[in-house]
Each structure stands twice: as structure tokens, then as C-alpha cells.
Amino acid sequence: MNLKTINPLYVIGSVALVFSLATGGVDEIKTQQNQASLIKEERRELAAERIQLELSRAEEEQEESVANSRYENNCLLVVNTSNPNQYAGITPGEPVIDMALNRPLADGHRVCDVYGLTGTIQDGVVADPARTGDRAIIQQAIDAQGINATAQPVANGGNL
């Protein structure tokens, strides 16, 4: 083919084709980079969620260990204020009343309920809550203490 016989439309078409392929390639590369960035971000988020889950599990295990220890060391099971022959739940931030003295338990007492929640009395109220799901250890505490309607502390909030 002779250069003099090349149709200028072919040249313009070829240049346009090369240009469109080049710009299309750049767009494709940008799209792939954006997708790679999104995948990296998703991986970072999944890793952060996994770490948070592991920390949460470790915290729950530690909390359960604290609660089990309180049950094993004779925490005071609380009863209902309106019916002292029934157990009651404790509530963090609420007082537990000493029935014999008719006043809140003194600081330092360990209290617990039949639902697995334990705490210590601080500033006259239940604080430092810890929970266990170990029904056997709770039952051991119930069996060991029984209900003594005149001697057991009562939960201010009543029966749950």
C-alpha cells in the first residue's frame, strides 16, 4: 500500500480506535483499583470485627469466672421483698436490704441471685456485676443456703 493512497478516514478511525482502547483501559484499571481498595477495606473491617468478637468472648469468660467464684464462696442469695419465701433478682445500681437490720447491706458483701447474676455491694448498691450460665453452680448455692425468710437479704426491686 502506498502512503499516498491511504484514505484519511482510515487514519482518523485508527487514531480514534487506539484512543478509545487506551482510555477504556485506564477506566478499567481505575475500576479494578477501586474494587481492590473496597476488598481491602472489607478485610480490615472483618478483621476488626473478629478481634472485637474475640475480646468480647474473653470478657464473658472472665466475667463467668468471677461469677462462679462468688457462688462458690457463698455469695448471699437474695429474696423478694414482698414474699421472702421466693428468690429475687438483683439489679446493678440498686440496694439489697439486710432483713434483720432493715437497712442496705454493708459495702463489701457479695450478693447473687438464682438467675446467674452476682455483684458486690459498693456505696450501698449492687456494683461490679458478673453473670454465669452455669446452672449447676447456682443450684449448689441454692441447696447450700436454702431460704431463710428472716435472715436472707432482699432485693429492693422485688421478684423478677
Greatest mean pLDDT among 6-10, 44-48, 100-104: 44-48
Q: Which residue has the higher pLDDT, 145 or 16?
A: 145
pLDDT in tens, 124-147: 999 999 999 999 999 999 888 877
Residues 84 and 98: their CA atoms lie apart, in Å, by 12
Place of cell 435472715: 151
Nearest partner of 95 among 71, 122, 131, 75, judged by Cα: 122
Q: How confident is the model at residue 119 (pLDDT cuts 50, 70, 90)?
A: very high
Contact 70, 129 (CB under 8 A): no
Q: How confident is the model at residue 4 (pLDDT cuts 50, 70, 90)?
A: low
Q: Which of these ranges, 6-10, 49-53, 81-85, has the smallest mean pLDDT? A: 6-10
Q: How many CB atoms lie within 10 A of CB 31?
A: 10
Q: How confident is the model at residue 22 (pLDDT cuts 50, 70, 90)?
A: low
**pTM to 2 decimals?**
0.64
Average pLDDT, the chain: 83
What confidence score (pLDDT) does residue 160 get?
Answer: 39
Name the 3-class secondary structure at 109: coil
pLDDT at 97 > cutoff 80? yes
Q: How confident is the model at residue 154 (pLDDT cuts 50, 70, 90)?
A: low
Contact 63, 90 (CB under 8 A): no
Q: Which of these ranges, 21-25, 29-33, 66-70, has the smallest mean pLDDT? A: 21-25
